[in-house]
Structure 1
């Protein structure tokens, strides 16, 4: 899938340290940052393969640290099933070999997430709509995940609008991210795109990701999370715009 080199390993270490730092400060963003930065010099497929293990490890920890695992599964179960279906179906786009199209799609996903998070006002979903809306959001999230390797749109805004308390919200996001990571691995493997060499580099990335999370928690004590998040989203939008233009041109 890609050749091993010192420069590649250093790039992976740096990328996942930065991604882990963002997750440590904001509670999310590791796969988004990893796909955005690695996608600047690797194909989206190679970048998606690298993020599987560190994303899985950090998100399982986030999921299991929450207060109500069983209750979360009951409420969000249909959404999680739809995420798996959508991701496996959408992975054909990521593995199809058209790097320009997937690069542009990744750029669009990054810009959409950054702009929405910067300007959107908080809102609440009517509980009466959850029965049909959760699977729909899950399916769309899965398709976006399969096509781009980024699993935040529209799942994150939707989960934030369900009215969870702080600890439950963190656990719900952890559940969504964990399921999306597993589904992405299944989608890539089912098409023969999840190779052993990618697994080795992905496992290596766990170390800088965890160190970055620790560093991010320290940064959070010194810098306002709101300020950090605002500038992070602006940088993410610029990065996504560059990838979008590169994919189209």
Structure 2
């Protein structure tokens, strides 16, 4: 049984992560991973994010009216992302978590720097499918090893030049599918215990409360300023994970 302080940490983490998602529409898995991996360890952090991430992204995947069109266009990327999660989890089960925490920190730092620099790639249509397969395999492997589905998946979707609503729905589809695959793969490798799954289910409540609070705050805050503060925070958390892993 976890100590009350640990339970409080989990609740506060998902309250914050849900709040971030409520304001800018993304960031829950990344924030929860960064905070929990630094305190509880990478594998428990990955298990805890499963239920809140799936539930809060299902609506994002279904709402928008473009589900069929998106799946028909992006199926090579989506399928390879989902399938590649499984060998990634096999690595997770066999490699010392310190090195995978280091990898997660590097991914978070890179993701933060990419967004702070406002760098945007543009992918020609003729290269879309081939690049999708390569990005899908890479994204799935990294999701299985670290729990993070943002890189290079989100960068690939942004490079397609999708309209904002389609981009948000596409990210919801990607995160939902990859997280479902992650949960199944972790269960297959005996990395997902009943206790962790129960805690993940309980974490849904503060995540939803945080989302609601974030949605209310969105009307009062400058989204541009908040996004910048968010990615600066991610840069600090990712750097901490890197230094912590290198420090042994």
What is the TM-score normalised by the length of structure 1? 0.96
Structure 2 unaligned spans of 5+ = none
Per the TM alignment, residue 246 of structure 1 is displaced from its structure 2 partner at its CA by 1.1
Of 175, 187, 190, 2:188 maps to 190
Matched, 1:142 2:150: no
Of 32, 50, 53, 2:51 maps to 53
The residue that corresponds to 1:108 in the other structure is 106
Query: C-alpha separation between the residues in 1 aligned to 2:94 and 2:235?
Result: 26
| Higher mean C-alpha deviation, range 34-43 or range 182-191 | 182-191
Query: C-alpha separation between the residues in 1 aligned to 2:136 and 2:13?
Result: 28
Q: How many equivalent residue pairs?
A: 247
Q: CA RMSD in A?
A: 1.1
CA offsets 1:156-180 (integer angstroms, 9 cap, x no match): 1110121211211111010111111
State the secondary structure of the residue aligned to 1:222: coil
Alignment of 1:1-249 (within 5 A): 3-96=1-94, 98-249=96-247
Query: C-alpha separation between the residues in 2 aligned to 1:114 and 1:74?
Result: 30
Structure 1 unaligned spans of 5+ = none
| Higher mean C-alpha deviation, range 195-204 or range 184-193 | 184-193
CA offsets 1:93-118 (integer angstroms, 9 cap, x no match): 32225121121111111111111111
CA offsets 1:107-145 (integer angstroms, 9 cap, x no match): 111111111111142332111111211111111111111
Per the TM alignment, residue 63 of structure 1 is displaced from its structure 2 partner at its CA by 0.6
Query: C-alpha separation between the residues in 2 aligned to 1:83 and 1:73?
Result: 13
Residue pair 2:77, 2:129 contacting (<8 A) in 1 also = no
After the TM superposition, which segments of 4 or more aligned residues of structure 1 sit over 6 Å from their partners?
Answer: none
State the secondary structure of the residue aligned to 1:216: helix
State the secondary structure of the residue aligned to 2:49: helix
Residue pair 2:13, 2:35 contacting (<8 A) in 1 also = yes
| Higher mean C-alpha deviation, range 134-143 or range 119-128 | 119-128
Query: C-alpha separation between the residues in 2 aligned to 1:169 and 1:131?
Result: 17
